[in-house]
Each structure stands twice: as structure tokens, then as C-alpha cells.
Chain A
Amino acid sequence: MEFSATQHDSGVVVVRVEGQLIVGNRQELKTLVEDAIEEGQRRFLIDFENTGYIDSSGLGALVSISKKIRDQGGTLRLANLNEDLHSLFELTKLDTLFAIDDSTDQALTQF
């Protein structure tokens, strides 16, 4: 499974990206988050601990998700980006758009 969602005790929905986030599967991630928003969820954490690489379509999907959550008054945080993945956010200046934490534990204290 490439994407899985669990609800932390705090109520935050933790979405894990296993493998790649690319043009071929980005819609699955968008649908997963949109369905959760539809169900009333407003706080999301995306965990990249087990992610290989992200392409520009994957970054675009994250931008789209971010906007949808924000439009509903919700919060999105990203965590566990390794050095390579973080470099993609820095290059594209998306590190200025997203709240990025070193770990899920750290992120969960920020909601």
C-alpha cells in the first residue's frame, strides 16, 4: 500500500507515504485526504519516513491538498523529510509554503 491513514490519539490524521509520490499515484493521495476532509477531519500530518522520491506532480498534489485543508480552516504539517526530499522543497521554495517538522512526534506537538 502506497498511502495509509491512521488517526492519532490527539485526533490528527497521520498519512504515510510508502514508496514514491509521483504522477502515477498522486491522485490516490489527493482522494484519500479529500475523503477525510469530507468526513470532517481538519488536522493532517503527512509522514515521509518511508518515501523514496517525489516528482513535481507529487509536489503539486501536496500544494493542492494544502489549499483544500486551509480552505476548510484546517492544518497540514509534513514530517520526516530526508535530506534529498527536503532539497526538493528548498529548490522550489515550497519550504516557505509548508510547515515542516523533523519528526512526527515533533509535528504532533505543533497542532
Chain B
Amino acid sequence: MTAPLKLCVRRSEVAAPSGHVVDVSVVLPSEIQHIEAAVELMARHCFAGHPSTSRLRFRLQVTLSEALANAIICGNGQDPSKHVTIQAQCRSDAIELSVADEGTGFSPDQITAPMTGAEIESQCGRGLFLIRHLADHVAFNEEGNAICITLRRP
């Protein structure tokens, strides 16, 4: 029996010099079955009223899905009492996504993807690599428990 999906959306719209800005935040429990719904909810709000391409949508879906999986599994240890917070600022030139968990953080520089030799058959370790290659910019907070992903609009 899984807990009902609980997503909280806060949407604010302000006029800015760069144009229409939408801020969206979503909080979800640390259960992997909520990832797909959270990703689709964020995509719907981030692309509402802004130009989009299928490539940009794909990049958002994959990078956010990866960031949420890392936060839920590695950060919060799939403890459903802990939460993951997504914040997005959707501007006309870019989407900035932040994913934060309640864990103690990690050192992103120590993660390498299995790309060569027998490592290619590893089942894990490609998530952060995909985020870095699909995003235009990636940054972490000092503790290592929050990631900020920037996707520029075409």
C-alpha cells in the first residue's frame, strides 16, 4: 500500500524586465513512484505560456527525473517521512530547477560515470553524468544536498 501522492504547487507570476516569470515549487515524499508525476507536473507549469521544443522538454524530463532519483534514494534513503523540494523559475530565456533533499549531501566531483572497459556493464552511476551533459549549467550548494540545473530555451 503506497501513500497517496501529495504534491504542493505554489505558482506566482510577476512582471520582470526579462518578461513573464513563473515560480513553481513542488514538495514530494521520498518514494520513487512519485517521480514521474512530479516531473510531468513541473513540465506542465514550466512550459505553460513559454515557447518550447520537444528537445527542451526531454532535457527537463531526464535531468529532473535523475535529480529526484538521487535526492530520494541517495539523499533521503527512501525514507517517506523525509521530503524532496523542487523549485523552478521559468523565464523566457531559461528554466532554473533546484532539487533539495534532507540528507547530509555528497561530493559531486567524486562521481564518475562507467564509460570504459568492463565498467560499461555497470547498472548505475550514469545519473549525474546525464544531468551534466543535458543541462546548460549545473551547480550544487555547499552541503551537497541541493542541485541547481539551468536549461536555456532555444
Contacts and interface: CB of A to CB of B under 8 A. Distances in A.
Interface string B54-97: 11001001100110010001000000000000000000000000
Given A53-B61, A57-B124, A59-B126, A92 B115 contact: yes
Contacts of A54: 62
Contacts of B129: 56, 91-92
A65 to B, nearest CB: 10
A104 B147 CA distance: 39
B61 A52 contact: yes
Nearest to A62: B123
Interface string B108-127: 00000101100011111111
Interface stretch (A7-15, A20-28, A34-42, A72-80): A20-28
Interface of B: 32-33, 35-36, 54-55, 58, 61-62, 65-66, 69, 73, 113, 115-116, 120-127, 129-130, 133
8 contacts: A23-B35, A53-B65, A55-B127, A56-B124, A56-B127, A57-B69, A60-B124, A92-B126
Contact of B130 (A24, A52, A56): A56
By secondary structure, the A interface counts as helix
B121 A97 contact: yes
Interface string A31-69: 000000000000000000000111111011101101100
Of all A-B residue pairs in the complex, the 9 with the closest CB atoms, nearest first, are A60-B123, A56-B126, A56-B127, A84-B58, A55-B65, A53-B61, A23-B69, A24-B32, A24-B33
A1 B103 CA distance: 34
Interface of A: 20, 22-24, 52-57, 59-61, 63-64, 66-67, 84, 88, 91-94, 96-97
